Amino acid sequence: MEILKGNAIVGQSGGPTAAINATLSGVIRGALASDCIGTIYGAYNGVEGMLAGTYCDLTAFFADETKLTTLETTPAAALGSCRKKLPKLDGSDPTAEATYEKLFAFFKELDIRYFFYIGGNDSMDTVAKVSAYAKAHDYEIRVMGVPKTIDNDLVVTDHTPGFGSAAKYIATSMAEMLRDCAVYTVKAVTIVEIMGRDAGWLTASAALTRLNGMEPDLIYLPERAFDLEQFFVDVKAALDRHPNVVVAVSEGIRTADGTYVCELVSNSGTDAFGHKMLSGTGKALELAVKERIGCKVRSVEINILQRCAAHLGSLTDITESVSVGKAAVEAAASGLTGKMMTIERVSTDPYVSRPGCEDIDKIANMVKHVPDEFINEAGNGITDAGVAYLRPLTEGESYPAYHNGLPVFLSLK
Amino acid sequence: MEILKGNAIVGQSGGPTAAINATLSGVIRGALASDCIGTIYGAYNGVEGMLAGTYCDLTAFFADETKLTTLETTPAAALGSCRKKLPKLDGSDPTAEATYEKLFAFFKELDIRYFFYIGGNDSMDTVAKVSAYAKAHDYEIRVMGVPKTIDNDLVVTDHTPGFGSAAKYIATSMAEMLRDCAVYTVKAVTIVEIMGRDAGWLTASAALTRLNGMEPDLIYLPERAFDLEQFFVDVKAALDRHPNVVVAVSEGIRTADGTYVCELVSNSGTDAFGHKMLSGTGKALELAVKERIGCKVRSVEINILQRCAAHLGSLTDITESVSVGKAAVEAAASGLTGKMMTIERVSTDPYVSRPGCEDIDKIANMVKHVPDEFINEAGNGITDAGVAYLRPLTEGESYPAYHNGLPVFLSLK
């Protein structure tokens, strides 16, 4: 194993999660502990900051290590994020060469020999490209992707850092809404829309409430074609059982012909400004139930709250997110490059996991769906096997410190 | 002071809060400790249960007092709720006599001499009517209202039980959303709709984030007439200052002529089923910003999450909610009747409060608005005086116990 000495840079990319800063903390902890890494720099807004030369010295900032625990319970990317994809290296993009030259000039200037990128699918694409360019141009650098996404839709890893906290927040909020909806005796339907365009992992986590005694009557994921007529049958049957029906739906559910449910309703209306009224999936189903069943109905969209609720993180998730960040540094120091860190599930009960890693090329642009055995036959609920997979990921409570009644968050910008 | 011995009944009414069960626990604690009260019964679904004869024996259920702490962190009315108003006693309602006879027959049958009713404005109306009927018919009973509402819109009390927890949840979620919105460099507006039809207390609590370093750029309450043109000017000025603009609005904001902002947009659209598209206030403003400013814009409705989020209660609120329930029993045992319990603020810094009570007739059907000195001159923000009033109500964290990664809630039905 070859020892490589130099500085490191870390960036964050893609949508916010409650755990992305825990992973950043893990990377910083790993770098501070490593003999190979001199200074660890933080790029503002991912590769955008590396191209613009906007960054900070994290080694200096975190000389006081107590700040790291605050960072671990601070939601959303503390370094800022970006959606930028690096240009293709196949010669199809005339700006490519200039972009990579600028990026690598920045690396040379700061003697960057370690590159850590925390993000989702698109970010792993960046890791793959930086790795490939470095190899082709003989610039010695160890390039590691560290996954994060609330969507849990990355392949090769048992689950993604950030998912467990979002799942815990959704399940807890669902448990509370089930109580909220149960107080009246009048027949009513509540439709809760949960994030997930292509994969239903977050929506499935609403079924965790089974472990607490009350659960949604119906759960629909994008993994199964949605049938509006069958939905009415399902809802009516639930209303026959009890007055307060609660339904969880993924934002991305679509009918067999591929039409998003939200498009079923948003086609005809225009607002006072002449705009098409774009309603969400929950709202669309609310209107459909009102029309066809006629009972009291409302929809709730958990929206961005589910991806940034650091006030109730999963301790398992936050702990693993730190570990996987640290392990990324150790893996790079040991000689690995062009890899994405993973979490391997060693056992479910008792729950044991460990960090692993896989070639970055195996990951980019693939989606991990909820498997068939986690979805019931009717396609409107989650099996006990699904609940068993999800449960350990939400175990334990991660709370931030509070001051003046508000959580204390850390600012790096 | 006359000693009155007998049994007690307690009911819950109106919309859910995270603290209404803490008050129920206080009433039960008070009753268990009282020499005057034999058994305390819980009516299911408020007066509906008293009229239907559906109730439970709380003295027996809570023989194991440890259940009371679980009850205190269980959201929404554990006994169920109702929206039922008792008929008027002025002779205008021909069903009135039969209704009250049924109710008081129920009281006689169970030897109910203490009546505790936990709810909002409408519930205080029930308290006033039961009290008046008892007096007119010489049935000796002590009747006490114990307030709860997340809206904080009841007069004579400094604040209402349930408000502090909702305010803490809103402020915390806002602090997290401000982080979430700040990660990108692209200009974007996020509009957060918060509950409050007539009073802006909950929306004002979004300004508490000032104490944590980041706050919404603009806050609009129903206490001030909303001007759409001025709103565009305000948003544009905010976008000139920084790219990520966050706006908090009360659902009930309206223009000078009384038109609700949500009606400005929902007039023209119809959905695929021919229904009027009813959009919320946040959605209406989202569409307006898209039209007039053209930048990236989204709206978030916190919805029912804000009234049932027991996973993050204000410890001050939960503690006061228990105290005021207990104090209601003590006040009734001491001879008072026809009163609503209040919370008196003795001092703000350090924060000291104590339970009080006022004649029920002073309260019913009045709304307490956010005072002028809490709203800035431009009508788009909260003053430091407003923040100073709100802060102590959200101090301290109340957390439920967790099992299997989920909060443990208590069921009484």
Mutate to test the interface with B, among A73, A179, A192, A290 (most CBs of B within 10 A): A179
- Look up residue B272 and give its two tokens: 């695929």
pLDDT (0 to 100) of residue A267: 45
pLDDT (0 to 100) of residue A365: 74
Work out the minimum CA distance from A115 to partner chain B, whole angstroms.
Answer: 20
In whole numbers, what is the pLDDT of chain B averaged over residues? 94
- Between CA B135 and CA B115 the distance in angstroms is 14
Contact B379, B218 (CB under 8 A): no
- Look up residue B268 and give its two tokens: 């023209």
- Between CA A327 and CA B34 the distance in angstroms is 60
Kindly list the residues from chain A whose CB atom is less than 8 angstroms away from the CB atom of residue B45.
183-185
Q: Are the beta carbons of B176 and A213 separated by less than 8 Å?
A: no
3-state secondary structure of A273: coil
Number of neighbours of residue B214 by Cβ within 10 angstroms: 17
Residue B276: DSSP 8-state: B
Quote the radius of gyration of chain A (alpha carbons, Å). Answer: 23
DSSP sequence for B328-346 = HHHHHHTT--SEEEEEEEE
Contact A163, A149 (CB under 8 A): yes
Instruction: Over range B57-63, report the average pLDDT.
Output: 96
Which residue among A184, A312, A314 sits closest to B311, beta carbon to beta carbon? A312
Q: Please tell me which residue in A57, A90, A138, A151 is annotated as part of the active site.
A: A151
- Between CA B177 and CA A149 the distance in angstroms is 17
Angle between helices B121-136 and B96-109 (to 10 degrees): 80
Contact B7, B299 (CB under 8 A): no
Residue A369: DSSP 8-state: P
Return the higher-pLDDT residue of A171 and B262.
A171
Q: Are the beta carbons of A176 and B397 separated by less than 8 Å?
A: no
Q: Are the beta carbons of B406 and A397 separated by less than 8 Å?
A: no
Please give the interface size between A and B, counted as residue pairs whose CB atoms are below 8 Å apart: 241
- Between CA B168 and CA B309 the distance in angstroms is 10
- Between CA B93 and CA A376 the distance in angstroms is 53
**Which residue of chain B has the CA closest to A409?**
B212
Kindly list the residues from chain B whose CB atom is less than 8 angstroms away from the CB atom of residue A173.
305, 309, 311
Contact A9, A107 (CB under 8 A): yes
Question: In sequence order, what are the residues at sequence separation of 6 or more whose Cβ sits closer than 8 angstroms to the Cβ of residue B327?
Answer: B26, B30, B341, B355, B357
Express each pLDDT in B199-254 by its tens digit. 999 999 999 999 988 999 999 999 999 999 999 999 999 999 999 999 999 999 99
Mutate to test the interface with B, among A72, A174, A176, A273 (most CBs of B within 10 A): A176
- Between CA B81 and CA B311 the distance in angstroms is 21
Mean pLDDT, consecutive 10-residue stretches, chain A (413 aa), reads: 92 96 98 98 98 98 93 98 92 94 98 97 92 96 97 96 98 98 95 96 98 95 97 98 97 94 64 57 93 95 97 98 98 97 97 96 86 98 98 98 97 89
- Between CA A124 and CA A130 the distance in angstroms is 10
Q: Shortest CA distance to B249 belongs to which of B277, B228, B268?
A: B228
- Look up residue A289 and give its two tokens: 């139930």
Q: Are the beta carbons of A268 and B272 separated by less than 8 Å?
A: yes
- Look up residue B86 and give its two tokens: 């008792």
- Between CA A207 and CA A376 the distance in angstroms is 12
Judge whether A151 counts as a catalytic residue: yes
Contact B147, B160 (CB under 8 A): yes
Contact B89, B129 (CB under 8 A): yes
3-state secondary structure of B360: helix
**Which residue of chain B has the CA closest to A390?**
B405
Contact B326, B26 (CB under 8 A): yes
Biggest alpha carbon–alpha carbon distance for chain B: 71
Kindly list the residues from chain A whose CB atom is less than 8 angstroms away from the CB atom of residue B208.
404-406
Q: Please tell me which residue in B122, B125, B151, B317 is annotated as part of the active site.
A: B151
Query: ω before B350 within 30° of 0 (cis)?
Result: yes
Residue with tokens 């931030």: A400
Work out the minimum CA distance from B347 to partner chain A, whole angstroms.
Answer: 16
- Between CA B95 and CA B380 the distance in angstroms is 48
Q: Shortest CA distance to A73 belongs to which of A319, A403, A306, A405?
A: A319
Question: In sequence order, what are the residues at sequence separation of 6 or more whose Cβ sits closer than 8 angstroms to the Cβ of residue B139?
Answer: B104, B107, B108, B133
ipTM: 0.96
pLDDT (0 to 100) of residue B279: 67
Number of neighbours of residue A91 by Cβ within 10 angstroms: 8
Which residue among B76, B273, B399 sits closest to A287, beta carbon to beta carbon? B273
Q: Are the beta carbons of B182 and A275 separated by less than 8 Å?
A: no
Kindly list the residues from chain A whose CB atom is less than 8 angstroms away from the CB atom of residue B310.
176
Q: Are the beta carbons of B77 and A183 separated by less than 8 Å?
A: yes
- Between CA B209 and CA B175 the distance in angstroms is 6
- Look up residue A174 and give its two tokens: 């669902």
Work out the minimum CA distance from B35 to partner chain A, whole angstroms.
Answer: 32
Instruction: Over range B157-173, report the average pLDDT.
Output: 98
pLDDT (0 to 100) of residue B363: 82
Q: Shortest CA distance to A111 belongs to which of A5, A36, A214?
A: A5
Mutate to test the interface with A, among B73, B79, B169, B180 (most CBs of A within 10 A): B180
Q: Are the beta carbons of B75 and A302 separated by less than 8 Å?
A: no
Which amino acid, residue B345?
Answer: R
Q: What are phi and psi of B169, to 5 degrees?
A: -65, -45
Q: Are the beta carbons of A176 and B396 separated by less than 8 Å?
A: no
Kindly list the residues from chain B whose CB atom is less than 8 angstroms away from the CB atom of residue A311.
172-173, 176, 312
Q: What are phi and psi of B69, to 5 degrees?
A: -65, -35
Number of neighbours of residue B96 by Cβ within 10 angstroms: 17
Cβ density class A329-368: b for 16+ within 10 Å, e for less: bebbbeebbbbbbbbeeeeeeeeebebbbbebeebbeeeb
- Between CA B215 and CA B221 the distance in angstroms is 16
Work out the minimum CA distance from B393 to partner chain A, whole angstroms.
Answer: 8
Kindly list the residues from chain A whose CB atom is less than 8 angstroms away from the CB atom of residue B77.
183
| B30, B130, B274 from B47: Cα distances, Å | 21, 10, 39
3-state secondary structure of A388: helix
Mutate to test the interface with B, among A406, A408, A412, A413 (most CBs of B within 10 A): A406
Q: Shortest CA distance to B393 belongs to which of B145, B227, B86, B159?
A: B159
- Look up residue B398 and give its two tokens: 């109340």
Number of neighbours of residue B362 by Cβ within 10 angstroms: 13
Tell me the residue length of chain A. Answer: 413
pLDDT (0 to 100) of residue B163: 98
Q: How confident is the model at residue B268 (pLDDT cuts 50, 70, 90)?
A: very low
Biggest alpha carbon–alpha carbon distance for chain A: 71
- Between CA A249 and CA A148 the distance in angstroms is 23
Work out the minimum CA distance from B165 to partner chain A, whole angstroms.
Answer: 10
pTM comes to 0.96
